[in-house]
Amino acid sequence: MSPNLETLFPDSLKLKHAGNLQIPVNALVTDSRRVIPGSVFFAIPGLRTNGTFYVEEAIDRGAVAVVLESDQIYPQVTTIQVEDIRKVVAQVSRNFYEKPDERLELIGITGTNGKTTVSYIVQSLLKGVSNRLTGLIGTIQYDLGHRTLPSFKTTPEAIDSFSLLKQMLEAGCTRSVIEVSSHGIDQKRIFGMDLKIAVFLNLTQDHLDYHGDLETYFKVKQSLFTGEICGLPEYAVVNLDDSYSKRLVSEMDSTVKLRTFSMENNRADFYLSNYQCDHAGSRFTLNWSGGKLKGSTKLPGLYNLSNILAALAVCDCLGIAIETVLPILEIFPGVPGRMERIEEAEGYDVFVDYAHTDDALDKALSMLRGITRERLLVTFGCGGNRDRDKRKSMMEVAQRHADFVCATSDNPRGESIEAIFEDMKAGVQDSDSIEFNPDRKLAIGRVLGLAQPGDTVLIAGKGHETMQEFKDRIVPFDDRVVTWEVLKIKQLEKLRKK
């Protein structure tokens, strides 16, 4: 039986209302195009548009109630005025979907970089040690237990988030891993969600076009651990190698159980020693309260070892013996579009990675430089209508590590590629080792065409993405597919020359 408006909107959520509150509710929506008869339409003001512009359309499609922050009344339907509509969307969604978060062990992972990799590792380890299903909500996909859906937002809107959790429960999941973006926190998409574990990976420059400055960005991330956005987590997992970790830990409620990790700090609960990284992956010695164990992974790079430590700390919080998960870690295949090796290359290595910040690009190229015998070649771009300040920094990073750079488009969106290139050119140090090509496919072809035995090629920025976004259109584009096609053409040309 569908709940009615009175049940979903107690007096504590309303400023006032006009109309019948006994009407049953069939759906909750924030997009007027998704309205079905019996829907409640939340008219949310956004960055580029305002939900109030679409109220009439929602009513025409069958909405039985409209929720908004203004005192506007729509006599055709029940109108409900609220103080903070985003908070109310989350609270109503949680109740509409019968509080699925209370019946799942939820692991929320936040950080500028690494969220996707850590979430995949955690889910893989949990699946490997138990017959219990573990769901996942993140940048690449939503795993609901018995089926997966392509992701449309790293952290979906509150209505979608609680709906996905409800579907996981129905599929038999007992746990879920959630990538928690700063936008998701700030826009209260997970408001009121009951997290068992909150994980902090790192904080570096990104999304400053939205947050304004790093202090505001940090405060948003911090709220995941202080009870401001969700209830206090039972556990907090914190990376001591990040400069913000000391402050995060010092300002955390003392009732939260802390687990720390570090690459070298032996005061951390989980830290590594004797680690080595090469083309085949990484080997290490894990140190924790249970002793020392040797482990290995197919994932290359020191930053992936840090990601692994975070995942192991999560397992420890869940009472899972570390000895049981290390063998699973050894066979973990990696994450789509995250330092993903393209096997078709002959005599040189080709990787596709999602690195789209100066910090992520720095870590990726630094790692590849350490395992490259000859030249390091990279192509990357900077997204349009996003943080302009990082464009110069990304170029400086690329030129510092790479022998050749082909700058290209990423997702230009509504910004001209010429304007993006101008910002990037401010970071050019050596004009002889860089080219600019607005066509991403040609740029990929350029670096692959230059590659020789012993070289390494990095195609950075889009990773798993299968589309490229322009001002007036979105076109299919997958770096991995394009790379594979170019490599096949190279192989055919080589055969013809024979």
447-459 pLDDT tens trace: 999 999 999 999 9
- In this structure, whether the domain defined by 100-331 belongs to CATH 3.40.1190.10 is answered with yes
Question: What CATH class is the domain 340-497?
Answer: alpha beta
155-195 pLDDT tens trace: 999 999 999 999 999 999 999 999 999 999 999 999 999 99
Location of structure tokens 């597919």: 481
Q: Does residue 498 surpass a pLDDT of 70?
A: no
Quick one: 492 exposed, middle or buried, by C-beta within 10 A (0-12, 13-18, 19+)? Answer: exposed
Domain boundaries defined on the chain: 5-84, 100-331, 340-497
Q: Does residue 131 surpass a pLDDT of 90?
A: no
Q: What's the mean per-residue pLDDT of the chain?
A: 94
d(CA 182, CA 81): 27
Q: Is the pTM of this model over 0.85?
A: yes
User: 138: which residues sit within 8 A by CB, 6+ positions away?
Assistant: 115, 116, 119, 120, 151, 154, 177, 178, 179
Q: Which two structure tokens, joined as six digits, stand for 22? A: 């006994």
Any idea which fold 5-84 has? 3.40.1390
CB 407 within 8 A of CB 399: no
Residue 132's pLDDT band, with cuts at 50, 70 and 90, is confident
Q: Does residue 34 surpass a pLDDT of 80?
A: yes
pLDDT more than 90, % of the chain: 88
Averaged over 339-368, what is the pLDDT?
Answer: 91
Residue 493's pLDDT band, with cuts at 50, 70 and 90, is confident
